[in-house]
Homo-oligomer: A and B are copies of this chain.
Amino acid sequence: MKGYLWTRAQAPQREPSHSDWEAIAIDAVGNTIEFWGFKRNQGRVWALLYLRDVVLTAAEIEKELDLSKGGVSMLLRDLERWGVVLRVRSPHDSAWRYKAETDLLKMARRVIEEREFSFIARVRADLEEAIRLAEADPRTAKAKVARLRKMEVLAEATEKALRLFLKTSRLDVGSLFGVFKPDEGR
């Protein structure tokens, strides 16, 4: 299947340095965020920064997660654009360093809103179009139009479910909102 809600990839390989459980946790976040429609490695980069709770250069991230230079550049650009990673430059430092912002679900919500709603909207528009065309043709059996209408209900239900899903995630994050905010170890 192509359009799986999510793909389960499991990277068995781990970075050599640092503890074993760190890699496990990083991969877990990668899998979770892939679930939400992002790249696995976007989640891994965020998780690395969040877990270490330090600023890292692109080169360090590249090494820790075993990614390519170009890849890290693109991953960081996306994460920065979504506001979940911050780029900072200390004085007398020739390289940018990156740190994790805290609200990761914000990113999921935004993309779902922008991307998926418009997608479903177009599907619904297509069905409207089909109904219009069907009704315009006098040869069309009434039962057929009825069935088209029922198909549209399917799309409507999808949209509605998605909306509620989003709202819930917002609520959940609300209740968890402090969770990724300041923590005692800063």
Tell me if A154 and B6 are in contact (CB < 8 A). no
Q: How far is the CA of A125 from the CA of B53 in the complex (A)?
A: 23
Tell me if B1 and A39 are in contact (CB < 8 A). yes
- Residue A32 lies at the interface, judged by CB distance under 8 Å to chain B: yes
**Closest approach, in angstroms, between the C-beta of A153 and any C-beta of chain B?**
5
CB within 8 Å for A173 and B150 given contacts A24-B129, A185-B141: no
* A153 partner residues in chain B, CB cutoff 8 A: 176, 179
Count of chain A residues near B, Cβ 8 A:
79
* A7 partner residues in chain B, CB cutoff 8 A: 2-3
Within 8 A of B (CB), among A27-46: 27-29, 31-32, 34-40
Tell me if A185 and B25 are in contact (CB < 8 A). no
One complex includes copies of this chain to the number of: 2
Q: How far is the CA of A115 from the CA of B28 in the complex (A)?
A: 17
**Closest approach, in angstroms, between the C-beta of A124 and any C-beta of chain B?**
8
Q: Give which listed residue, B36, B119, B142, B184, contacts A146 with CB less than 8 A.
A: B184
9 new A-B pairs (CB below 8 Å) besides A3-B34, A144-B185?
A8-B119, A19-B140, A22-B130, A24-B129, A25-B148, A32-B120, A141-B185, A146-B184, A153-B176
> Can you offer 30 A-B residue contacts whose CB atoms are under 8 A?
A3-B9, A3-B34, A3-B35, A5-B6, A5-B36, A6-B37, A8-B119, A19-B134, A19-B137, A19-B140, A21-B129, A21-B133, A21-B137, A24-B126, A25-B126, A28-B124, A31-B126, A32-B155, A35-B119, A36-B158, A53-B144, A104-B154, A105-B154, A143-B183, A146-B183, A146-B185, A157-B172, A157-B173, A164-B168, A165-B165
